[in-house]
Amino acid sequence: MNAWPAIYTLWLREVKRFIRNRSRLIGSMALPVLFLVVLGSGFGGFFRYRNDVSYIEFIGPGIIGMTLLFSSMFGGMNVLWDKQFGFLKEILVAPVGRMAIMTGKTAGTVTTSMVRALVLLVAMLAGGVVKFHVAGLLLTLVFMCLISAAFVSLGIALASWMTDIHGFQLIMNFVIMPVFFLSGALFPLENLPWWLNILTLINPLTYGVDGIRFALGGPYRFHPLLDLAILSGFWFITTLVGAFMFRRMYA
């Protein structure tokens, strides 16, 4: 059977649920806006990254990374809710390949995460937090898509591995939050103790945030090609792991 209709169907479901649920949309936008505005102006008063880079300009790309991380991971882990509420059975018993299901689910969640992050990006461009130029914006989109797709796959992999929703809090505290805090989204990573530095260097989001910073004309650390390579590698691995885990999942 042709896989495209099934991929489209699962994509459509994610998008429909996204559009329908206004409160969830507002809820998921509130945290990044809070971080950007409150932290940005709170710390902005006595902290500058460099003379030419204010704190809010520094964390802008980080907040985009954060939005993508949270909504993509939550979206991928939604599989767990589908499992809990039984809908996953309906999907798994259909004459549709597992890979088509995973692809559709990923595409849908990447779409909805991108919409959230793009709303923020547009607001930041309008507010002058990040700098506008066409090539940079395109590169930003590439980085954003990669971050989102990689973390959706990771979310699906974790959700396939877990049996019920009780492990969710664990993932939140031991995966999502550390990945966020150690990504350089909120503070520069140059002066960390060596052991924390190692953690930041193995954190894939570090390279995502760094890549977006470069693309938006901010203060970057690594060569953008290195960012791109590491992030692509991470995406490739999470997709493989996610596919493997999802394949052997029983509803």
Partner 1 sequence: MNNTPTLLNSGPLPHESCASPIIVTQRLTKSFGDLVALDELSLEIATGELFGLLGPNGAGKTTLISILATILPATLGKASVCGYDVWHDQAAVRRSIGIVFQDPSLDDELTGQENLDFHGRLYGLDARTRAVRIDEVLNLVDLQDRRRDLVKTYSGGMRRRLEIARGLMHRPKVLFLDEPTLGLDPQTRRKIWNYIRGLKESYGTTIILTTHYMDEADQLCSRVAIIDHGKIVAMESPANLKASLGGDLVELETSEIHPEFGETMRNSDQVTHVSAQDGHVVLTVTNGESFIPRVFETAQSLGMEISSVSVRKPNLEDVFIKLTGREIREETVAEPKERIRLYMWRRRK
Site residues (vs partner 1, CB under 8 A): 1-2, 5-6, 8-9, 12-13, 16-17, 20-21, 85-96, 161, 163, 250-251
The backbone torsions φ and ψ at residue 50, rounded to the nearest 5 degrees and listed phi first, read: -140, 175
Longest dimension (CA), the chain: 61
**Shortest distance in whole angstroms from residue 19 CB to partner 1:** 11
**Shortest distance in whole angstroms from residue 27 CB to partner 1:** 15
Return the number of the residue (9 or 200) whose C-beta is nearest partner 1.
9
**Shortest distance in whole angstroms from residue 49 CB to partner 1:** 42
**Distant-in-sequence, close-in-space partners of 26: CB < 8 Å, separation ≥ 6:** none
**Distant-in-sequence, close-in-space partners of 131: CB < 8 Å, separation ≥ 6:** 216, 217, 218
The answer to whether 14 and 112 are in contact (CB under 8 A) is yes
**Shortest distance in whole angstroms from residue 77 CB to partner 1:** 16
Return the number of the residue (10 or 212) whose C-beta is nearest partner 1.
10
| Bridge partners of residue 54, in order along the sequence | 48
Neighbours of 98 (CB within 10 A): 14
